[in-house]
C-alpha cells in the first residue's frame, strides 16, 4: 500500500475480529487495532486517525461511551459502531450523544465493510454528515 485512503482505528476486545477487519481493509486503508478504549486513546494521541470503527459491547465501557469522549477530544474523526446487537436505544444514543456516522451490524459482509469505510474516508474533516446523519450498514 503506497498511499492509503485513510487511517482507520479498529477498537474491540476480540482480537480475531480486529484481525479479520484488518485483512479486509488493509489493501486500501491503513488499519490500526486497539483492544480497549485506553489503548485506542493512546493511538489517537500519537497518530492521525480519520475513522474509528468501534465495537459496541466491550468490557468496562461501551463503544458509544468511548466515542462520546472521542467526539469531544477529536471531533473531526468519523465515528462508526459495529455490533451484533441492533438495540434501537443504543443506536439512538450513539447518534444523539456520540455523533455516530454509521452503525454496522454483525455479521458484516466484507464488501459492505469496505464500502462503508471508503465512504467514511472520503468525507471531508468538517463535513456536516459527521454529526447529524447515521447509516445502518448490514
Predicted local distance difference test score (pLDDT) of residue 22 = 92
Average pLDDT rounded to a whole number, residues 54-60? 90
* The domain over range 7-137 is classified in CATH as 3.30.420.40: no
- pLDDT tens for each residue of 22-40: 999 888 889 999 999 999 9
Domain map (residue ranges) of the chain: 7-137
Average pLDDT rounded to a whole number, residues 43-65? 92
| Contact indicator for 134, 102 with CB cutoff of 8 Å | yes
Whole-prediction pTM value? 0.82
Predicted local distance difference test score (pLDDT) of residue 43 = 97
Strand, helix or coil at 120? helix
Average pLDDT rounded to a whole number, residues 4-15? 88
Buried b (16+ CB within 10 A) or exposed e, 55-67: bbebeeebbbbbb
Task: Identify which of 128, 133, 122 has the alpha carbon closest to the alpha carbon of residue 28.
Answer: 122
Amino acid at each position: 500500500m503506497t498511499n492509503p485512503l485513510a487511517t482507520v482505528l479498529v477498537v474491540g476486545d476480540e482480537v480475531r475480529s480486529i484481525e479479520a477487519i484488518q485483512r479486509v481493509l488493509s489493501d486500501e486503508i491503513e488499519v490500526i487495532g486497539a483492544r480497549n478504549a485506553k489503548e485506542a486513546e493512546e493511538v489517537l494521541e500519537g497518530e492521525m486517525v480519520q475513522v474509528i470503527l468501534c465495537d459496541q459491547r466491550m468490557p468496562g465501557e461501551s463503544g458509544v461511551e468511548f466515542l462520546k469522549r472521542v467526539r469531544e477530544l477529536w471531533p473531526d474523526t468519523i465515528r462508526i459502531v459495529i455490533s451484533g446487537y441492533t438495540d434501537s436505544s443504543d443506536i439512538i444514543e450513539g447518534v444523539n450523544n456520540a455523533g455516530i456516522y454509521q452503525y454496522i451490524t454483525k455479521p458484516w459482509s466484507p464488501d459492505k465493510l469496505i464500502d462503508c469505510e471508503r465512504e467514511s474516508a472520503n468525507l471531508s474533516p468538517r463535513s456536516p454528515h459527521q454529526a447529524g446523519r447515521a447509516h445502518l450498514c448490514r
